[in-house]
Amino acid sequence: IDAVCFLSLYSFTQKYPPVKFLSEKDRKRILITGGAGFVGSHLTDKLMMDGHEVTVVDNFFTGRKRNVEHWIGHENFELINHDVVEPLYIEVDQIYHLASPASPPNYMYNPIKTLKTNTIGTLNMLGLAKRVGARLLLASTSEVYGDPEVHPQNEDYWGHVNPIGPRACYDEGKRVAETMCYAYMKQEGVEVRVARIFNTFGSRMHMNDGRVVSNFILQALQGEPLTVFLFLPSDLVNGLVSLMNNNISSPVNLGNPEEHTILEFAQLIKSLVVSRSHIQFLPEAQDDPQRRRPDIRKAKMLLGWEPVVPLEEGLNKTIQYFSRELEHQANNQYV
């Protein structure tokens, strides 16, 4: 379930994790932008192990070489340090376009850069897709629904986004990115897939990511009950690959419809970490969505997809990963 444990086990016994053999006709050349990030590196593992040729393009803003280092030197793998805001000329069959900061502190750090990445960066990747005839999957987000007035949200909902609020650089950036996908589809015949991803957590997620799971696990404290729906990279990665290889070009929600209040969540994490920290309530952040829950009937019906990893199992894995990271940091502090 969690490729990280599996992969670290392999690194003791052989140079690379096991890779399936694919005949030339089944083997694809796949570009993953943002492939050194949290979701992208799990997707890299799956596609590499499935036997494809994977090129990761990343500017290492929030991603890390460490997330994909176990593939470096493999003949099917390439890592390119490149910013998608600049044009890119390579030859590929499929593009998973994930490059974009994903958590509020990261995307608010430099809103103009976030806008450039999601607009110019997406335009460049669509230009690339058009030139080489590749299919492009955009990692869009539940944030396109903003602070939703309907609950749960299905793909037909147009959203409720404040265009000038602190989250707008990301929300509107992704909305334009979706618009661009459909403009390239209609005008240029580019094959596009759009996944609207709901909060995901797991190993390789940045500890200082600023989102709910990392905050809670690091005993940071958060306020007023909001509701969240979280799911795991293995579920998400399977959903993304399934969507890429299906014929549904309209947006598809990928998320976990199991709903928890933030308070329930804090309590659960506190008990799993066996922590003494108490829960403190702080004022809510501006434009924070109050409640969100994906309607995943479309993904279920058309892709046969739904999340399967139980919440506690995922949380325990993430807690283990964060403990190892904290240990790693402590050990490296004095060298």
Query: Interface residues with ligand UDP (CB under 6 A)?
Result: 87-89, 123-124, 127-128, 130-131
Longest dimension (CA), the chain: 58
Structure tokens at 268: 């659960």
Which CB atom, from 99 or from 271, has the smaller least distance to ligand NAD? Answer: 99
CB distance 8 to 41 below 8 Å? no
Q: Is 39 in the site for ligand NAD (CB under 6 A)?
A: yes
Euclidean distance between the first and the last CA atom of the chain, given in angstroms as a whole number: 34
For residue 284, what is the DSSP state? P
Q: How far is CA 51 from CA 21, 127, 205, in A?
A: 6, 27, 25
Q: Is 239 in the site for ligand NAD (CB under 6 A)?
A: no
CB distance 159 to 144 below 8 Å? yes
CA distance 288 to 166: 10
CA Rg value for the chain: 19
Q: Work out what residue 59 binds among ligand NAD, ligand UDP, none; the CB cut-off runs from 5 to 8 Å by kind.
A: ligand NAD
Crossing angle of helices 38-49 and 233-244, rounded to 10°: 60
Which CB atom, from 47 or from 180, has the smaller least distance to ligand UDP? Answer: 180
Measured torsion, CA atoms of residues 147, 253, 101, 222, in degrees rounded to the nearest 10: 50
Decide: residue 222, CB within 10 A, 0-12 exposed, 13-18 middle, 19+ buried.
buried
Q: Which of 96, 107, 145, 170 is catalytic?
A: 170
Helix (H) or strand (E) holding 228: strand 227-228
Question: Which of residues 44, 124, 199, 238 is near ligand NAD by CB under 6 A?
Answer: 199
Question: Which of residues 44, 55, 94, 117 is near ligand NAD by CB under 6 A?
Answer: 117
Which CB atom, from 22 or from 288, has the smaller least distance to ligand NAD? Answer: 288
Please, what sign has the CA dihedral across residues 229, 230, 234, 236?
Answer: positive
Q: Work out what residue 87 binds among ligand UDP, ligand NAD, none; the CB cut-off runs from 5 to 8 Å by kind.
A: ligand UDP
Which CB atom, from 27 or from 159, has the smaller least distance to ligand NAD? Answer: 159
Q: Work out what residue 66 binds among ligand NAD, ligand UDP, none; the CB cut-off runs from 5 to 8 Å by kind.
A: none
Question: Which of residues 31, 54, 92, 98 is near ligand NAD by CB under 6 A?
Answer: 98
Nearest to 218, CA basis, from 263, 264, 267, 275 = 275
In the complex, least distance from residue 151 CB atom to ligand NAD, rounded to whole angstroms: 18
Binding to ligand NAD in span 42-61, by CB under 6 A: 58-61
Which CB atom, from 34 or from 314, has the smaller least distance to ligand NAD? Answer: 34
CA distance 173 to 116: 8
Q: Work out what residue 102 binds among ligand NAD, ligand UDP, none; the CB cut-off runs from 5 to 8 Å by kind.
A: ligand NAD
Which CB atom, from 39 or from 180, has the smaller least distance to ligand NAD? Answer: 39
Tell me if residue 170 is catalytic: yes
Q: Work out what residue 55 binds among ligand UDP, ligand NAD, none; the CB cut-off runs from 5 to 8 Å by kind.
A: none
Q: Is 85 in the site for ligand NAD (CB under 6 A)?
A: yes
CB distance 279 to 221 below 8 Å? yes
Q: Is 100 in the site for ligand NAD (CB under 6 A)?
A: yes
Nearest to 107, CA basis, from 98, 96, 118 = 118
Stretch binding ligand NAD (CB under 6 A), from 97-105, 149-157, 268-276, 300-308: 97-105
Question: Which of residues 62, 119, 124, 256 is near ligand NAD by CB under 6 A?
Answer: 62
Which CB atom, from 179 or from 271, has the smaller least distance to ligand NAD? Answer: 179
As annotated, the active-site residues are 170
Which stretches of the chain bind ligand NAD, using CB under 6 A?
A: 33-34, 36-40, 58-63, 83-85, 98-102, 117, 121, 139, 141, 197, 199-200
